[in-house]
């Protein structure tokens, strides 16, 4: 065992050390070579060292260098070294983090990590929280708590009786709502399309003047950080407009919520602490390994009412908080270990510096590309930059050339009718020199694409 695990560690380190100098996207040949994994189910045991060798030799070259310094696609944070180390150790612990009594160590780490998160993100200290797979499930958690409360106020128990015959719930979203919120609404029986869509402005921010009047059970989903522009809904104004009439406000802050951790950026999140529930990702801007999302709910009983289950074989009396009372999963890995390690390693100042550095790098991208004649389609308020290289065809050709060149990787989007390249700067590993190297590659690709 020792030799195998040391080999895995050595291979992992070699992989990570190679990231800054390799092409970011896997070579077509490396992807074709993946057939080596295939074949019939082995009839008997295979040598473990040989299995690890195959994984590394064939798997490593076929990865996208998302953990490296020049991956700017989607919103993907690299893993801080301490978080990968903590992940390895927690993997060795192999704890099922469902219950406090059998796994007090990880339950305690998660309890402390949640307290630190509420502090860092400037959310009310008496909120509860849950470690889930990602912001999609965090949205599901927050909205499940919302569904519970707005129906309980009418005397309806949705967990017991479902939605058949329940009073209707009005769900209000912005015109640029992230599809994961729509998916969560669908999973909760509230409907992906059965929503009131509020018109947005040119940055994707909900227009407060276009909010409908609130009547009856209502959930309003706002956004902190649009996936294209990085823009924030005017959350303070929305809360002031809808909460007096009893609406629940849920914030999808998959990456934008982390702006609250920076004194320089926290104005973007003004009023966010007035909401009722929040979803975010640690695997985005806290730079912990996949997967790790976070749901926070102001009223702990609401999330517990939506999620907790009991059974004769599960311990009902607990010396501490049972994490599974707040999560959709019963069994799960102890995601909070890496979060605790990240926050301990960075501290308040290090976290703010990471967020601010990535935002400064986004502005550096925008400044250099704009000076070279590219059009920047968004106000660069956070870590997202939308770049047009000309018409839709030229922009698509340029993005394909950038991806093939391998210096960096950024994806394509269409923002309010305009085809654009999305740059998202979300990794601790990115330096200003990486930005400059990437800008040069982008401009080279633009020139070559006519």
Which positions lie near ligand PLP, rule CB under 6 A? 74-75, 134-136, 178, 180, 225, 227, 252, 254-255, 281, 293
* Phi, psi at 200, each rounded to 5°: -120, 165
Tell me whether residue 255 or residue 296 sits nearer to ligand PLP (CB atom).
255
Q: What is the CA radius of gyration of the chain?
A: 23
Residue entry with tokens 């590993």: 429
Cα separation of 245 and 318, whole Å? 38
Sequence-separated (6 or more) residues with CB below 8 Å from residue 192: 182, 183, 185, 186
* Phi, psi at 300, each rounded to 5°: -55, -35
Minimum distance of ligand PLP from residue 233's CB (angstroms): 11
Tell me whether residue 76 or residue 341 sits nearer to ligand PLP (CB atom).
76
Lookup: tokens for 359:
């935002």
Beta strand 411-415 with 384-388: parallel, antiparallel or unpaired?
A: unpaired
Residue entry with tokens 């400064």: 360
Task: Name 118's bridge partners.
Answer: none
Tell me whether residue 252 or residue 276 sits nearer to ligand PLP (CB atom).
252
Minimum distance of ligand PLP from residue 449's CB (angstroms): 27
Tell me whether residue 132 or residue 305 sits nearer to ligand PLP (CB atom).
132
Minimum distance of ligand PLP from residue 447's CB (angstroms): 31
**What sections of 224-335 are H helices per DSSP?**
235-242, 300-307
Beta strand 293-297 with 128-132: parallel, antiparallel or unpaired?
A: antiparallel
Q: Which residue is nearest to ligand PLP (CB)?
A: 134
Minimum distance of ligand PLP from residue 221's CB (angstroms): 10
Minimum distance of ligand PLP from residue 422's CB (angstroms): 10
Cα separation of 32 and 56, whole Å? 15
Minimum distance of ligand PLP from residue 141's CB (angstroms): 12
Minimum distance of ligand PLP from residue 66's CB (angstroms): 13
Tell me whether residue 389 or residue 415 sits nearer to ligand PLP (CB atom).
415
Tell me whether residue 70 or residue 284 sits nearer to ligand PLP (CB atom).
284
Lookup: tokens for 427:
């990794």
Minimum distance of ligand PLP from residue 240's CB (angstroms): 23
- DSSP character at residue 335: T
**What sections of 264-328 are H helices per DSSP?**
300-307
Residue entry with tokens 């912005």: 174
Tell me whether residue 69 or residue 204 sits nearer to ligand PLP (CB atom).
204
- DSSP character at residue 224: B
Minimum distance of ligand PLP from residue 288's CB (angstroms): 12
Tell me whether residue 97 or residue 295 sits nearer to ligand PLP (CB atom).
295
Minimum distance of ligand PLP from residue 15's CB (angstroms): 23
Q: Is 106 exposed, middle or buried (0-12, 13-18, 19+ CB in 10 A)?
A: buried
Tell me whether residue 156 or residue 248 sits nearer to ligand PLP (CB atom).
248
Q: What is the 3-state secondary structure (H, E, C) of 135-178?
A: HHHHHHHHHHHHHHHHHHCCCCCHHHHCCCCCCCCEEEEECCCC
Which element (helix H / strand E) includes 384?
A: strand 384-388
Residue entry with tokens 């150790």: 89
Tell me whether residue 227 or residue 306 sits nearer to ligand PLP (CB atom).
227
* Phi, psi at 206, each rounded to 5°: -60, 135
């Amino acid at each position: 065992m020792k030799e195998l695990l040391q080999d895995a560690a050595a291979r992992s380190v070699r992989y990570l050390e190679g990231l800054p100098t390799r092409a970011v996207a896997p070579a077509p040949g490396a992807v074709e070579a993946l057939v080596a994994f295939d074949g019939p189910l082995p009839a008997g045991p295979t040598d473990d060292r040989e299995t690890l060798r195959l994984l590394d030799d064939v798997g490593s070259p076929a990865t996208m260098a998302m953990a490296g310094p020049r991956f700017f696609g989607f919103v993907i944070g690299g893993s801080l070294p301490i978080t990968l180390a903590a992940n390895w150790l927690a993997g060795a612990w192999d704890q099922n983090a469902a219950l406090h009594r059998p796994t007090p160590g990880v339950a305690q780490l998660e309890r402390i990590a949640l307290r630190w998160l509420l502090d860092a993100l400037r959310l009310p200290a008496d909120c509860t929280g849950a470690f889930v797979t990602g912001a999609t499930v965090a949205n599901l958690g927050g909205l499940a708590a919302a569904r519970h409360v707005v129906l309980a106020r009418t005397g309806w128990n949705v967990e017991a009786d479902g939605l058949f015959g329940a009073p209707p719930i009005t769900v209000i979203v912005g015109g640029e709502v992230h599809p994961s919120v729509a998916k969560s609404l669908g999973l909760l029986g509230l409907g992906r399309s059965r929503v009131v869509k509020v018109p947005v402005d040119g940055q994707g921010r909900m227009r407060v003047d276009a909010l409908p009047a609130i009547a009856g059970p209502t959930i309003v989903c706002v956004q902190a950080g649009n996936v294209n522009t990085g823009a924030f809904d005017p959350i303070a104004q929305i809360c002031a407009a809808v909460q007096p009439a009893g609406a629940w406000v849920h914030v999808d802050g998959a990456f934008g919520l982390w702006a609250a951790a920076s004194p320089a950026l926290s104005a973007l999140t003004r009023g966010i602490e007035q909401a009722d529930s929040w979803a975010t990702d640690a695997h985005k801007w806290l730079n912990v390994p996949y997967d790790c999302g976070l749901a926070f709910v102001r009223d702990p009983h609401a999330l517990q009412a939506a999620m907790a289950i009991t059974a004769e074989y599960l311990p009902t009396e607990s010396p501490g908080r049972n994490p599974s009372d707040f999560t959709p999963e019963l069994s799960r890995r102890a995601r909070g270990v890496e979060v605790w390690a990240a926050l301990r390693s960075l501290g308040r100042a290090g976290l703010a510096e990471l967020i601010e550095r990535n935002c400064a790098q986004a502005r550096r991208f925008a400044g250099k590309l704009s000076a070279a004649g590219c059009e920047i389609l968004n106000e660069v308020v956070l870590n997202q930059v939308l770049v047009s290289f000309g018409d839709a065809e030229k922009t698509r050709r340029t993005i394909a050339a950038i991806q093939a060149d391998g210096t960096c990787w950024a994806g394509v989007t269409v923002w309010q009718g305009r085809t654009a390249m999305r740059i998202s700067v979300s990794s601790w590993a990115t330096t200003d020199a990486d930005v400059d190297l990437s800008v040069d590659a982008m401009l080279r690709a633009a020139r070559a694409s006519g």
